Amino acid sequence: MNDSRQGTTVPAGMQMHQLITATGERNSDELLDDFVSDVDHETLRGLYRDMLVIRRIDFEATALQRQGQLALWPPLLGQEAAQIGSVRALDPEDFIFPTYRENGVAYIRGANLAGIMSTWRGSANTGWDPHEFNMATPQIIIGAQTLHATGYAMGIAMEGKESLSIAYLGDGATSQGDVHESMVFAASFQAPVIFFCQNNHWAISEPVGLQSHLPLAGRASGYGIPSLQVDGNDVLAVLAATRWAARRARTGGGPSFIEAVTYRMGPHTTADDPTRYRGVTELEEWAAKDPLMRLRSYLINAGMLDAGAEAAIAAEADAVAAELRDGCINLPDPEPLSAFENVYVDPHPVLDRQREEYRRYLSSFVGSAS
């Protein structure tokens, strides 16, 4: 693999914003400092707790998949700061359009743990009510949610609301036509939408450098959408950058694009084997920039995290993991034919035929009640 496939070149004038360094020191940043001037040590400790809990959720779900309790799981290991910093910048009425990896975001929004697991266990098409949490269900079609987020934001603008929508997307998604259409519409109609791109460096086995020779944040300016590139492993910087974009959206400034530069330390999903396409050195380099470790160092240096506080957070995370395991294992199995429900609002002849074929197939098994 040559170097051009590995990374991107930062053009003159584009700066990667960072507020807490990889070793836990506070940086100052002319643009972002103001957006987090109210964030005290207690709030930072809360962000650390959030990140630790979602990492624990992720480990437990990965273990459940390995034990045959989930069909698949898309790990978020390494992306905790990007997820927590962004969701904590939003108001409850802001509508979230996620990919399949925003399970940490869903947890913070209030979706219950068994609900989050249900899609990955095959127990239900969706584990939460989008209207209850103002969060759409996981989107598997790469980039499609950016269209939904833009359309929703255009609606908000027409209704004169002060709210916004946010579309989460990956680096690979920026190569999809849907994303480019979304940005054209968002810019044309000045829709209050945030494109929050987690550049985790890999689109399954394709490195980001193959898809873009420039930072992804640079693409937005082609549409006239202001953008920021932020250290995605720095929760404080991500919080600040998302607040920057949210303020723009709420005050009639239109769309923004954030590139959170992070790294997917695990596989793409539990069905993937990253050792086949990426080197060990790269992983080690990113492990040294772990989002949890840097905030931990910062809090310890500030005297805000001692062994007692750490043990309390770890116990909380363990309790969440136990609840998740229990909820997941006890999810009821769905009726096989329920797969055909909630596909279309009105009856559909093709679906009716497929249901009938499947019913006949099921009844071909000896002793089947179907």
Ligand X SMILES: Cc1ncc(C[n+]2csc(CCOP(=O)(O)OP(=O)(O)O)c2C)c(N)n1
Catalytic residue annotation: 264, 268, 277
**Using rule CB under 6 A, residue 203 touches ligand X:** yes
**Using rule CB under 6 A, residue 170 touches ligand X:** yes
**Of the two residues 76 and 236, which places its CB atom closer to ligand X in the complex?**
76
**Of the two residues 126 and 297, which places its CB atom closer to ligand X in the complex?**
126
Nearest distance in Å: CB 264, ligand X: 6
Options 53, 84, 173, 216; binder of ligand X; rule CB under 6 A: 173
Burial 67-76 (b: 16+ CB within 10 A, else e): eebbeebbbb
Nearest distance in Å: CB 18, ligand X: 21
For residues 106 and 115, what is the distance between their CA atoms, to the nearest angstrom?
Answer: 10
Options 63, 204, 283, 309; binder of ligand X; rule CB under 6 A: 204
Residues in contact with 64: Cβ distance below 8 Å, sequence separation at least 6, in sequence order: 70, 73, 117, 324, 325, 328, 329
Which stretch, 37-45, 197-205, 299-307, 323-331, contacts ligand X (CB under 6 A)?
197-205
**Of the two residues 165 and 200, which places its CB atom closer to ligand X in the complex?**
200
**Of the two residues 75 and 115, which places its CB atom closer to ligand X in the complex?**
75
**Using rule CB under 6 A, residue 142 touches ligand X:** yes
* Subset of 268-327 contacting ligand X (CB under 6 A): 268
For residues 335 and 128, what is the distance between their CA atoms, to the nearest angstrom?
Answer: 19
Which stretch, 126-134, 170-178, 301-309, 355-363, contacts ligand X (CB under 6 A)?
170-178
**Using rule CB under 6 A, residue 200 touches ligand X:** yes
Options 140, 315, 329, 351; binder of ligand X; rule CB under 6 A: 140
Nearest distance in Å: CB 101, ligand X: 5
Options 55, 88, 101, 109; binder of ligand X; rule CB under 6 A: 101
Contact yes or no for 9/214 (Cβ under 8 A):
yes
Which stretch, 121-129, 199-207, 236-244, 290-298, contacts ligand X (CB under 6 A)?
199-207
**Using rule CB under 6 A, residue 141 touches ligand X:** yes
Contact yes or no for 329/123 (Cβ under 8 A):
no
**Using rule CB under 6 A, residue 114 touches ligand X:** no
Nearest distance in Å: CB 125, ligand X: 16
Nearest distance in Å: CB 268, ligand X: 5
Options 60, 102, 171, 259; binder of ligand X; rule CB under 6 A: 171
* Chain residue at closest Cβ approach to ligand X: 170
Residue ranges binding ligand X (CB under 6 A): 101, 140-142, 170-173, 200, 202-204, 264, 268
